A and B are shown apart, each in its own frame.
Chain A
């Protein structure tokens, strides 16, 4: 390592050129960056939920629907002007490129099929908008009588109507040079135009909306947050060092590592997931640490040995700093790499590329930073130099002075410090136990945002925009002509529809019941499954006469072997979902297992649910893995089991405190908040490592812990303080995010950093004083080896 540093100091320009070249190479890859906001991307390929969902799309093509809700509070939608508006909006939406014209469904597109004394009538519900009371009443009546549409294209209370649109499949959209965002924007602008008329309110919701908007938010988020983080860091660095190099050097480390991580990400074809927003932010917060510690040591040396030459100063700085820099970088990287065991691609990729960025930051810190310092003249604040000369390092500045005082106090009252902390931990444990899992895709948006309001209004008035699909496989062709099986399907649906959170359901049984009633003079008691399989076949043939060839494709396969029961749910939050899924399992088990019909669950709501379930199951494991990985690394690199444990203590204390804050503040565990614990562990551990190194180093020199500790706090402690301030400020920038999980995470990580900073500078010294660990007090010849 010494030789490596010597080489860097001898060839600073070559070093700078090499790093610049590599970074530019990686930057050039950024143009290939892709964005992925697919709700399914969180689930590992090959997972049952994904397989079922793929099978469902393959067989039934069940689409995620775009819901356009037209609400008229006063007097309901059965008024001529509102109906005319629905009709014209439907027509406009049908013509939007990327929307499947034939599959747009509203009360102006659908046919009413009803029985008469001698036959059956198929006619549009609304060929012309009715203008008189009788006509309006008749329309309302017709829709009420058609139970498949009641609650689906009109609210059951008549206060709203829906226009349901399907997007073309992804490949087809791309072929036309379109994407989900573009289609959503076109529909939205039509809706906005229509909403100018007055008496109605319009809402657009559905999974495609959430996905499209989340995609937009990610881009906007990046645009707003990155420059802000940058600005905050630069300002803080300038106030810390009051020199240009104090700003430029850390910012270079941050910029280069962020660019490298994103460059490698794009170059290897990994798309930007919603979690990807975190990569640059975390790298900015962490990447700056290495540079700050090197600069801290450099300035420390400048203050005490102002007479030394540049190369000598740099060489000495690196000799002392390379070890903690490498150690902290490797531990933090290892911590983030433990994300790879999460089993969820977006989280895994976040961990992986943060780790890559951290390692790149380490490389830059060990090469570019010393090289730059060699080329720049030695300069330091005259005032600080003077005060250092007069009264030593501990008095260099207010921060150093106060931290030295803290060090002295802890040295004298180390037992007291530990007892106070213990009491706090017990209280925190009680608070931490309040934390539970709750999440919803819609929770990614702000409470007062249009999209949340739309979701609420539409799910309140209609069957629900979140689908769960029960896939039935009866094993033999034509099985679904069997009245007994259809009765089971119907009974299952009845059971499901009484579950809270389920707004309605559609299956092949609905169509058969409808047809039976229609063909029997519309007699109510005939709305049932007929006894004859042949009659069922004939009804379905007849029904198919009135629609497109693939009308039933969404509920039954062409062999009549597999069917799809579409369950519409009014929310996608985790707790409701758990209840609905439990009921599905119970009822399906009850109705389908005895008759030998295989069943499985699919659909967007199910996939979302499984995703959150995986986070819950994985979080415990992930926290433990991160802690264990870091502990092993610290143990191995500091060659002391006790040192490994010591490193972990302040971090764990901080994590417990944060869980307590979550519990008390009512923050739940979701995909956003789940990441923070491990991120906090990874960053916080750096502090402990730096401080332990410093204490060991100073104790070796001074042979008196009561001097070594306060001095360590005044020097390394000061750097940690600056680092914490910068990290906290960096994460606070996340509050400007439009995505609540990111805001939440910013808050939680900031709090974690602040508490681990405090814990490092109090609990750790107290622990050292109380336990008198050998790895510090028995300094021998192997002390500095690694």
Chain B
């Protein structure tokens, strides 16, 4: 066999290998791939929006709160400030959070109680803690969970309300994580067209149904897909939280000063 022949065989193999990978491009993504896409979705560099929270207990009793929230991304870190607008007795109560990526550094939080007229520093919360007394935990309220803490598996596809979705199962990697988060398993539906999780079902540590998360209204604002209504329902306590988002303004170039103690105390002005 001469060199030319060898070269020819190698060349043929290389073409075949190349074509093989070309043709296999459309094969299923892994669960982690999908979650990476969700994580990488554009959600703006900063955002101002109004949030209307409805806390509804199992008897149907409603408690409502309104706030305006500012958020700005600093790479993987972010800062946010929220001012309560109603009910009247908590108006101007404000919460400032500096959220650092990873577990090495605790988040910083400051709170302003207008009736006390003092800014108080408050310790950060665990991921499994409830967010502002809603049915969402700090983990749930994030755009995406900490991807490296879960084993992600693609469990199939499903069409929901006319949209093709991936079904992605997440399982916290360790028992300690399960305890911390309060979940043994999550199953999310991710819209293939916009890489957004529109539904998640949570199971508690005993494998029992715990919570249902649903995005009930979704639209494109300034080119960014934005949930405008979502609900989290606890199946066991039958308590549920609805969140309605409005007046979104993306990428307005919020200054760093917006997220300071001084602004916390000054309150929100239209």
Contacts and interface: CB of A to CB of B under 8 A. Distances in A.
Interface string A542-554: 1011111111010
Contacts of B90: 534, 537-538, 541
A558 interface: yes
Nearest to B128: A102
Contacts of B122: 119-122, 542, 545
B242 interface: no
B120 A541 contact: no
A101 B182 contact: yes
A372 interface: no
Nearest to B137: A548
A226 interface: no
Contacts of A94: 205
A544 B133 contact: yes
Nearest to B120: A119
B3 interface: no
Most buried by B among A59, A100, A548: A548
A545 B132 contact: yes
A654 interface: no
A539 B133 CA distance: 13
Contacts of A544: 132-133
B87 to A, nearest CB: 8
A532 interface: yes
Given A558-B57, A559-B61, A519 B118 contact: yes
Contact of B121 (A59, A118, A530, A539): A118
B197 interface: no
Given A119-B121, A534-B89, A101 B204 contact: yes
Contacts of B76: none
A121 B116 contact: no
A171 B195 CA distance: 39
Interface residues of A, number: 44
A698 interface: no
A481 interface: yes
Interface string B119-140: 0111101000110111100000
Interface residues of B, number: 40
B239 interface: yes
Interface stretch (B42-50, B107-115, B245-253): B107-115
B59 interface: yes
Contacts of B134: 549
Contact of B120 (A102, A519, A530): A519
A478 interface: yes
Contacts of A267: none
A481 B61 CA distance: 18
Contacts of A481: 89
Contacts of B135: 549
A535 interface: yes
B113 A538 contact: yes
B178 to A, nearest CB: 10
Contacts of A100: 236
B69 interface: no
A560 to B, nearest CB: 9
A119 to B, nearest CB: 3
A535 B116 CA distance: 7
Interface in A60-116: 91, 94-95, 97, 100-102, 116
A224 interface: no
Interface in B122-162: 122-123, 125, 129-130, 132-135
A519 B113 CA distance: 10
Contacts of B57: 550, 553, 558
A551 B89 contact: no
A123 interface: yes
Contacts of B133: 541, 544-545, 547-549, 551
Nearest to A560: B63
A533 interface: yes
Interface in A637-654: none
Nearest to A550: B239
B218 to A, nearest CB: 24
A179 interface: no
A780 interface: no
Contacts of B63: 558
A548 B236 CA distance: 13
B236 A172 contact: yes
B173 interface: no
A147 to B, nearest CB: 21
Contacts of A95: 205-206
B80 interface: no
Contacts of A532: 115
A91 B239 contact: no
A58 interface: yes
B89 A537 contact: yes
A172 B113 CA distance: 40
A534 B239 CA distance: 26
Contacts of B194: none
A558 B133 CA distance: 12
Contacts of A700: none
B163 interface: no
A45 to B, nearest CB: 21
Given A519-B120, A534-B114, A550-B237, 6 more contacts: A100-B236, A538-B114, A541-B84, A541-B90, A546-B129, A550-B239
Interface of B: 55, 57, 59, 61-63, 84, 87, 89-90, 93, 110-111, 113-116, 118, 120-123, 125, 129-130, 132-135, 179, 182, 204-206, 208, 234, 236-237, 239, 241
Question: What 9 pairs across the A-B complex have the smallest Cβ distances?
Answer: A119-B121, A544-B133, A535-B115, A537-B89, A119-B120, A558-B61, A534-B115, A121-B123, A538-B113
22 contacts: A59-B59, A94-B205, A101-B182, A101-B204, A101-B205, A101-B206, A102-B182, A119-B111, A120-B122, A120-B123, A122-B125, A519-B113, A534-B89, A537-B115, A538-B90, A538-B114, A545-B122, A549-B134, A550-B239, A557-B61, A558-B57, A559-B61
Interface of A: 58-59, 91, 94-95, 97, 100-102, 116, 118-123, 168, 172, 176, 478, 481, 519, 530, 532-535, 537-539, 541-542, 544-551, 553, 557-559
